[in-house]
Amino acid sequence: MLSIPEKHIVVKAVSEKYNCILSNIKRKQIMYEGTSNEKKLVLCTPQSKLHVNGKGWFDLTTLQIDLLDDSDIPILAVRLQGYKVYYIDFKELKKLMTPDIMLRNPKEGEHWKLYVWGNFIKVQGNEKEFHVQPELLDRKEFTLFI
């Protein structure tokens, strides 16, 4: 079975790219923040296994979106089974997340469901595709971090 990249791999890559130190946001397991060139950076790094139909999926809550919106550099880094990481400028993806397609339930509260296909992401309820290419981690490099 193919593994999902660990959070620390993504945190390290983003820290190096933006020359900053990222720390975990209190009580938010997949949310990190830091400062890059005097700008606030927020990283959200959800994960998904691949389902039988070949796609992954994850939810983004309104609280996670508020934290991303409250930054100068909002990064969504989706970790997908098969050693893939999708690095996304959240400001661009958010344009597809309209209030009318928000989901609500007692467990997650208000949220959006996002589906990850090979080279695009779809927000449930919106037919538009957000095209993005994954970064495929080398298995050797991947095992060095484990």
pLDDT at 139: 59
What is the C-alpha separation between 80 and 82, in angstroms, rounded?
6
Question: In Å, how far are 85, 97, 116, 125 from 15, measured between CA atoms?
Answer: 15, 27, 24, 33
pLDDT bracket for residue 140 (50, 70, 90): low
Within a domain: residue 2?
Answer: no
Tell me, what amino acid is at 9? I
pLDDT per position as a tens digit, 33-85: 999 999 999 999 999 999 888 899 999 999 999 999 999 999 999 999 989 99
Identify the pLDDT of residue 125. Answer: 97
The whole-angstrom separation of Cα 135 and Cα 38 is: 27
Residue 126 located in a structural domain: yes
Query: Tell me, what CATH number does 91's domain have?
Result: 3.40.1350
**Does residue 132 lie in a domain region?**
yes
Is 60 inside a domain boundary? yes
d(CA 30, CA 58): 12
The arithmetic mean of pLDDT across residues 133-138, rounded, is: 87
Arithmetic mean of pLDDT, 119-134: 96
Q: DSSP readout, 27-90?
A: T-TTEEEEEETTEEEEEE--EEPPPTTS-EEEEEEHHHHHHHHTSSEEEEEEEETTTEEEEEEH
Q: What is the pLDDT of residue 144?
A: 43
The answer to whether position 32 is within a domain reads yes
In this prediction, residues 127-136 reach a mean pLDDT of 95
Phi, psi of 116 (to 5 degrees): -110, 115
Q: Are 14 and 75 contacting, i.e. CB atoms less than 8 angstroms apart?
A: yes
The tens digit of pLDDT for each residue in 87-98 reads: 999 999 999 999
Average of per-residue pLDDT across 121-128 = 97
Q: Is residue 106 part of a domain?
A: yes
Is residue 33, in this structure, part of any structural domain at all? yes
To the nearest whole number, what is the mean pLDDT of the chain? Answer: 92
What total number of domains does the chain contain? 1
Q: Above 80 in pLDDT, residue 138? A: no
The answer to the question of residue 56 being in a domain is yes
Structural domain of residue 45, as residue ranges?
Answer: 7-145
pLDDT of 129 higher than 70: yes
Q: What is the pLDDT of residue 112?
A: 97
What are the tokens at 142?
Answer: 């991947």
Q: Tell me which residue has tokens 């990064």.
A: 75
